[in-house]
Chains A and B, each alone.
Chain A
Amino acid sequence: MADTDLNSQLVEQVRAAAVNATPLCIVGGGSKAFYGRACAGDPLDVSGHRGIVAYEPTELVITARAGTPLAEIEGVLAANNQMLPFEPPHFSEKTTLGGMVAAGLSGPRRPWGGSVRDAVLGVKLLNGRGEVLRLGGQVMKNVAGYDVSRLMVGALGTLGVLLEVSVKVLPRPACERTLRFDSAAKPSRLAEMPISASLELDGRLYLRLSASSRCVEMAADTLGGEAADPAIWTAVRDQTLPFFQSELPLWRISLPPAAPALNLLGNELIEWSGAQRWLVSDLPAQTIRQRVGALGGHATLFRNHAATDSVFQPLAPAMLALHQRIKHALDPHAVFNRGRLYPEL
């Protein structure tokens, strides 16, 4: 598909919606339609607004329109031996850059390479007044104005329509290797190793090493273990592993990495050295959230839930009130993605 600029068309649609206070549901590739709460409103299709706007590899920044497929961006980066350091999921080949930012989900490399929000440098945003704002920029260091571009990450489109996004990119590691261990015989001294992904499932620990070939060699010699297929990282990132093929609710649990075992009834997969744990379980939401909250974490009902469920960890009253005021500051007529994140937003 050719690059297209739908800027003025999208501005017109949002202005009309603002005047009539018509709710809109922002749609990109639709690959994360299952994620979050249901959204009531007319679809606002951003997927046609696509194309890479600027990419100079030595600047370590890429800028593209929000509807650009992630696969296209990653293809261009790979051709220049670079990558998105946060390894975002592709739940289908239609996943877009805008959807990636709106959902704010990062993949296996996140604890070592940073998150989506860490890498976002700037956005061109269409707010609820139909105004086009350039926030942040294309440079690594920028402290002029509030950091509104990072506020968009994970906001699920409730604050505005992303038109363009600038993201920091990094060189690809020269060498990567995946190792498998018995969970009973986990290696120690991991802190000094060039690890870039971890996964525990069914009594096995998988680690990925990323560095120069000599360093990977040396680390692998020290760690031991067996060589394993690196395809497991894409499979866990995109949730195509058999673990994820269940009709039961899937929970994403974010915790301090050293938090103890959850001991919640269900099937569990642990990533990010313990900081991200997936749980397939039909326990009541309250039971899960109480346990996770007590450990300093939060739990998201990721898949297989009802459209009206409380998908995200409820906010304290003062925090929710502040969220409502921030929403109002960017989207005063409440046109964008009503209820998608929290029923009150």
Chain B
Amino acid sequence: MMNPTFLAALRAALPSNALLIEDEALRPYECDGLSAYKQIPLAVCLPETLEQAQSILRVCREHQVPVVARGAGTGLSGGALPLADGVILSLARFNKILQIDADNRLARVQPGVRNLAISEAVAHLGLYYAPDPSSQIACSIGGNVAENSGGVHCLKYGLTVHNLLALKVLTIDGELLEIGAADNPGALDRPGYDLLALMTGSEGLLGIVVEVTVKLLVKPERAQVVLAAFASVETAGAAVAKIIGAGLLPAGLEMMDNLSIRAAEDFVHAGYPVDAAAILLCELDGSNAEVSEQILAVREVLLSAGATEVRTAEDDAQRMKFWAGRKGAFPAVGRISPDYYCMDGTIPRQHLARVLGRIGELSEQYGLRVANVFHAGDGNLHPLILFDANQPDELHRAEAFGTDILKLCVEVGGTVTGEHGVGVEKLDAACSQFTPEELSQFHAIKAAFDPDGLLNPGKAVPTLHRCAEMGRMHVHGGALPFPELPRF
């Protein structure tokens, strides 16, 4: 039950259409893109102005009520999962593009603006916003900042953190912080600590992003895709290293294994070779002359690396077709399995064969199929674990399988999440990546922003206690961590 004084304070701060408290109105907010976790919040606030957002934060701080920020709710790690005793602060009504500055190649937008809407709004200027998470049609730029979202073009164009110029952020006190000259943006660096980097990917635990200035790039004159088929995932992985070793920097470099190829082909008829053990999609962009040269070079590398077939998209329609298969890989897998669980580890690419081999073994051990889709250029793996939630125990087995995959990523020097975030989903996995000292450092940084721990508490950084209890701790130098905590 909501404290009546708290409710009255919220009501005083917001117009009636900006506050939801009825159960059926709250229902759409019970989960984000990770629908395995659901929770009804105390209330949902939908401010339209900065002042309203500031008031909400002040009221919550005063009443010690947790605040979970939410953009479009497409996140895949439960970052926007409500808390039973907390409010959802939705930025959906902060949906305006405030400024487009072609001379300084930037756009200043509110956080609720969709990722793709930015590129659409500046297309007539020959510009675009580079990071393109697969949810870009729906996901909001504020959510992209919170998660440091990636996409298929990170190797060449970077993640969200590389494509921001300034932010406006509200602290838990409702104070407005400008990171960079937010009202007059465009400078490439800022005085003081790099809070732009610290805020990006902080999953709503440090502050509420209320304005974002993004960098715009000039649309390349031409983009072209080469598709190569391989008889084994190992040869495909080695081919990726050879492309990079040859000094080529593709805009996108994606790998799919046989199960994903067949699922995607059945779904979108992209013209993929269904007998291949793996395919690589290699996109090259730049000036016309540059792309022509690179295509020749890439074809040569792929053939010498043992590709059984190399095809260059003949026109833009075929290029889109090749990409449609890759971009539709998740829903395609959804057609061959009642449920799937998407993982997001990153590894140094040199360990690809070993990791994929081990995933294959785990697949047999858990009795669950796995389809591998892979941002090969930057080492970001998306194994999709296929399961049926209606079968007893399958969800549990899928989760255990997933945690094993993420541990494996950490063992080879990688990370438990490349672009989806820790959220609630990977809290246990994060225990295997960080030492107690590292986790304590993260908690101290959070306290510097949010001393009472009211911003999205319990997400992104596991507590020391949780890591000890889960037994999935980082064992350092052979010594067990947390000697001070009781064991069960």
**Which residues on A are within 8 Å of B, measured CB to CB?**
56-61, 81, 104, 110-111, 114-115, 117-118, 127, 129, 131-135, 137-148, 150-151, 153-155, 159, 170-172, 174, 191-192, 194, 211-212, 214-215, 218, 254-259, 272, 275-276, 293-298, 300, 312-313, 315-316, 318-319, 322-323, 325-326, 328-330, 341-342
Q: Is the pair B188, A115 in contact by a Cβ cutoff of 8 Å? A: yes
Interface residues in B151-167 (C-beta closer than 8 Å to A): 154-155, 158-159, 161-162
A-side contacts of B185, CB under 8 Å = 256, 296
A293 to B242, CA, bound (A): 48
A254 to B181, CA, bound (A): 11
In the complex, what residue of chain B is closest to A141 when comparing beta carbons?
B418
Residue of B101, B193, B290, B447 contacting most chain A CB atoms (<10 Å): B193
Number of A-B pairs whose CB atoms are under 8 Å? 250
Q: Is the pair A150, B198 in contact by a Cβ cutoff of 8 Å? A: yes
Q: Is the pair A133, B418 in contact by a Cβ cutoff of 8 Å? A: no
* Per-position 1/0 for B433-459, Cβ under 8 A of A: 111011001101111110000000000
Counting from the closest, the 4 A-B pairs by CB-CB distance are A256-B186, A296-B184, A150-B197, A141-B418
Contact of A326 among B105, B242, B433, B445 (CB under 8 A): B445
Q: Is the pair B419, A141 in contact by a Cβ cutoff of 8 Å? A: yes
Contact of A194 among B287, B375, B378 (CB under 8 A): B287
When A131-B437, A276-B188 are in contact, do A171 and B448 touch as well, CB less than 8 Å?
no
In the complex, what residue of chain A is closest to B218 when comparing beta carbons?
A191
Sample 14 A-B pairs with CB under 8 A, ordered by A number: A114-B158, A134-B435, A138-B348, A139-B415, A151-B195, A191-B218, A211-B287, A214-B289, A215-B293, A255-B186, A256-B186, A316-B178, A325-B449, A341-B192
When A171-B247, A272-B188 are in contact, do A143 and B447 touch as well, CB less than 8 Å?
no
B-side contacts of A151, CB under 8 Å = 193-195, 197-198
Q: Does B134 contact A (CB under 8 A)?
A: no
Q: Does B73 contact A (CB under 8 A)?
A: no
B-side contacts of A111, CB under 8 Å = 188
Q: Is the pair A141, B378 in contact by a Cβ cutoff of 8 Å? A: yes
When A150-B198, A212-B290 are in contact, do A144 and B430 touch as well, CB less than 8 Å?
yes
A-side contacts of B241, CB under 8 Å = 58
* Per-position 1/0 for B128-150, Cβ under 8 A of A: 00000000000000000001101
A-side contacts of B448, CB under 8 Å = 322, 325-326, 328-329
B-side contacts of A114, CB under 8 Å = 158, 162
In the complex, what residue of chain A is closest to B294 when comparing beta carbons?
A212
A205 to chain B, nearest CB (A): 18
When A138-B413, A256-B184, A257-B104 are in contact, do A298 and B348 touch as well, CB less than 8 Å?
no
Contact of A143 among B148, B171, B188 (CB under 8 A): B148
In the complex, what residue of chain B is closest to A150 when comparing beta carbons?
B197
Q: Is the pair A145, B194 in contact by a Cβ cutoff of 8 Å? A: no
In the complex, what residue of chain B is closest to A82 when comparing beta carbons?
B247
B-side contacts of A140, CB under 8 Å = 154-155, 346, 378-380
A296 to B434, CA, bound (A): 39
Q: Is the pair B162, A254 in contact by a Cβ cutoff of 8 Å? A: no
Q: Is the pair B418, A150 in contact by a Cβ cutoff of 8 Å? A: no
Contact of B194 among A117, A129, A144 (CB under 8 A): A117
B161 to chain A, nearest CB (A): 7
Contact of B221 among A117, A192, A328, A329 (CB under 8 A): A192
Q: Does B354 contact A (CB under 8 A)?
A: no
B-side contacts of A326, CB under 8 Å = 193, 198, 445, 448
Q: Is the pair A218, B188 in contact by a Cβ cutoff of 8 Å? A: no
Q: Is the pair A143, B420 in contact by a Cβ cutoff of 8 Å? A: yes
Q: Is the pair B162, A118 in contact by a Cβ cutoff of 8 Å? A: yes
Q: Is the pair B379, A141 in contact by a Cβ cutoff of 8 Å? A: yes
* Per-position 1/0 for B260-290, Cβ under 8 A of A: 0000000000000000000000000011011
Contact of B191 among A117, A174, A298 (CB under 8 A): A298
A315 to B290, CA, bound (A): 44
Interface residues in B320-364 (C-beta closer than 8 Å to A): 346-350
Residue of A132, A153, A192, A256 contacting most chain B CB atoms (<10 Å): A256
Q: Does B414 contact A (CB under 8 A)?
A: yes
Q: Is the pair A143, B419 in contact by a Cβ cutoff of 8 Å? A: yes
Residue of B147, B190, B447 contacting most chain A CB atoms (<10 Å): B190
Q: Does B201 contact A (CB under 8 A)?
A: yes
Q: Is the pair A319, B414 in contact by a Cβ cutoff of 8 Å? A: no
Interface residues in B388-427 (C-beta closer than 8 Å to A): 413-422, 426
B308 to chain A, nearest CB (A): 22
Contact of A147 among B197, B244, B379 (CB under 8 A): B197
A-side contacts of B147, CB under 8 Å = 143
When A143-B420, A146-B201, A315-B192 are in contact, do A60 and B415 touch as well, CB less than 8 Å?
no
Contact of A258 among B104, B200, B437 (CB under 8 A): B104
A118 to B164, CA, bound (A): 11
Q: Does B298 contact A (CB under 8 A)?
A: no
Q: Does B245 contact A (CB under 8 A)?
A: yes
Contact of A141 among B177, B286, B375 (CB under 8 A): B375
Q: Is the pair A323, B349 in contact by a Cβ cutoff of 8 Å? A: no
A-side contacts of B178, CB under 8 Å = 316, 319
In the complex, what residue of chain B is closest to A170 when comparing beta carbons?
B249
Beyond the given pairs A131-B441, A137-B413, A154-B194, 12 more chain A to chain B contacts, judged by CB atoms under 8 angstroms and listed by A's residue number, are A59-B379, A110-B188, A118-B162, A143-B147, A146-B198, A146-B202, A148-B198, A171-B249, A215-B290, A254-B190, A258-B103, A322-B177
Q: Is the pair A255, B415 in contact by a Cβ cutoff of 8 Å? A: no
Q: Is the pair B414, A146 in contact by a Cβ cutoff of 8 Å? A: no
In the complex, what residue of chain B is closest to A114 when comparing beta carbons?
B162
A325 to B206, CA, bound (A): 13
Q: Does B12 contact A (CB under 8 A)?
A: no
A147 to B206, CA, bound (A): 12
A236 to chain B, nearest CB (A): 16
Q: Does B62 contact A (CB under 8 A)?
A: no
In the complex, what residue of chain A is closest to B200 when comparing beta carbons?
A147
When A139-B414, A322-B449 are in contact, do A145 and B192 touch as well, CB less than 8 Å?
no
A214 to B415, CA, bound (A): 40
B-side contacts of A312, CB under 8 Å = 191-192
B-side contacts of A61, CB under 8 Å = 348
Q: Does B210 contact A (CB under 8 A)?
A: no
A139 to B105, CA, bound (A): 28
B216 to chain A, nearest CB (A): 11
Residue of B171, B375, B444 contacting most chain A CB atoms (<10 Å): B444
Interface residues in B197-249 (C-beta closer than 8 Å to A): 197-198, 200-202, 206, 218, 221, 241-242, 244-245, 247-249
A57 to B434, CA, bound (A): 27
Q: Is the pair B378, A139 in contact by a Cβ cutoff of 8 Å? A: yes
Q: Is the pair A329, B158 in contact by a Cβ cutoff of 8 Å? A: no
B127 to chain A, nearest CB (A): 9
Q: Does B175 contact A (CB under 8 A)?
A: yes
Q: Does B371 contact A (CB under 8 A)?
A: no
In the complex, what residue of chain B is closest to A135 when comparing beta carbons?
B438
Q: Does B187 contact A (CB under 8 A)?
A: yes
* Per-position 1/0 for B444-486, Cβ under 8 A of A: 1111110000000000110000000000000000000000000
In the complex, what residue of chain B is closest to A315 when comparing beta carbons?
B192
Q: Is the pair A192, B287 in contact by a Cβ cutoff of 8 Å? A: yes
